[in-house]
Amino acid sequence: MAKFINSKKYEGVQYYIKADGTKSYYVRYKDEENRLKRVKIGDETDGTTEVYCKNKRIEILNAQNKGEQPPKIVKNHRKKVLTLNEVADKYFTTKDSSRSTFDRISKYKKHIAPVLGHRGVTGITKNDLISIQDSIIKEQNLSPQTANMVIELFGTIFIYGFKEEMYEAVNPTLKVQKFKVRNTRERFLNKLEIEELFDAAKQYDEKNANGGVLELFTKLALTTGARMESVLNIKKCDIDLQNDIIRLVDLKNGGEVYSGYITDTTRELLYQKSKAIKFTDYLISFNNNGKKIGARQLQTRLKPLLDDLFNQGLDVKDRKNRIVIHSLRHTCASQLAMANVPILQIQELLNHADISQTVRYAKLQGDANKKAIQGVF
């Protein structure tokens, strides 16, 4: 026999847990002859909630007090069930068209939508999410980090719908245990490797006659510490050669604008490039045509170069030691820390939203401190 559990919020609302872990909702009340009645309202999987049950019970009691027949509980009379796909569509329309958004949409379509997209969002349970985790790890042979990111994405979409008052429900991701992973990138380029990369990028550009794309990108990425999308988004109008300032847009953090700086490494390149393109043209463009280069276009050219220079013999899943495009940002921060630049200043230069993202570089300042002491004594 089912064990009925009383709602903690609403009098007369009950539910029991079915074999699949979902809830079946009922209301209890006394009829005209003072007999206790229990009536099924619906299941969690078809969109029924405690709030809906509370309102339905009030309707029954009001009708009874007026001497009317209580309303029939007809499933088709309930409001349309809101599916996860509907919430996700509304969520993604609030986002920009950056690569980050594209990647998140791809993850949703690949891992979440086929399994849960058609389901009523309030009926999705912890067990449903655990099944997705298991599929990612055991069936698709993907990393624990990927599984964590997929669950986090579901949670973000769920919270969006909740904040928009689309439904009342407990976020099931709160009950899902994430995998413990340690995949922080630690490898960064030393000064000799940086020069080696610059030389290789220049040689590639000369061989392929593409307008100096890789040399300019690598030098800007390393000297500003900006993310790939931010570097690709730089236009001629963002370059202030007189004051050595580059206007950068942080697309990951809502399009926030911050400053990068022109150095001896980039000044002549930027000067020559600026003479060849129009005021509103994108700086990094094939043969100075002014058109923005896509992230994939850059990756297909730069990744093989990085692999050949720095990733020989490393496993493709070795996030700790492989040099990738994002490693250029990591290298910038690491070299600044080794030069004893204050952590708060590094945070500002890289436009980290949270200081916790920057403090990881503090350990690198030990060598600079050691050299300072040895230089005196």
Name the H helices within the chain: 50-65, 84-92, 99-107, 113-116, 126-134, 144-163, 191-208, 213-224, 228-232, 267-276, 295-310, 327-338, 343-350, 365-376
The overall pTM is greater than 0.75 = no
| 187-219 confidence digits (pLDDT tens) | 999 999 999 999 999 999 999 988 899 999 999
The alpha-carbon radius of gyration of the chain (Å, integer) is 29
For residue 239, the model assigns a pLDDT of 97
Q: What's 260-294 look like in SS3?
A: EECCCCCHHHHHHHHHHCCCCCECCCHHHCCCCCC
Higher pLDDT, 35 or 225: 225
- Give CA–CA dist 151/289, Å, rounded: 41
What is the structure's pLDDT at 353? Answer: 83
Query: What pLDDT shows up at residue 201?
Result: 97
Architecture label for domain 84-175:
Orthogonal Bundle (1.10)
Residues of the chain with CATH 1.10.150: 84-175
- Residues 34-79: tens digit of each pLDDT: 889 999 998 887 778 899 899 999 999 998 888 776 666 644 444 5
Q: Is residue 322's pLDDT more than 60?
A: yes
**Interval 73-96: pLDDT, tens:** 644 444 567 899 999 999 999 987
Mind listing the pLDDT tens digit for each residue in 232-259? 999 999 999 999 999 999 988 778 899 9
Percent of the chain surpassing pLDDT 90:
61
Residue intervals of the chain classified under CATH 1.10.443.10 are: 191-322
46 bridge partner residues: none
pLDDT category of residue 18 using cuts at 50, 70 and 90: confident
> 351, 156, 354: which is closest to 256 by C-alpha?
351
Residues 267, 244: Cα–Cα separation, whole Å: 8
* pLDDT value of residue 211: 84
Cβ within 8 Å of residue 296, ≥6 positions away: none
Residue 377 confidence (pLDDT): 59
Give the integer Cα–Cα distance in Å for 190 and 76.
67
Give the model's pLDDT for residue 48: 84
The superfamily CATH assigns to domain 191-322 is: Intergrase catalytic core (1.10.443.10)
pLDDT category at 183 given cuts 50, 70, 90 is: low
- Whether 310 shows a pLDDT value over 60: the answer reads yes
- Would you state the pLDDT for residue 76? 42
Q: Mean pLDDT for the chain?
A: 89
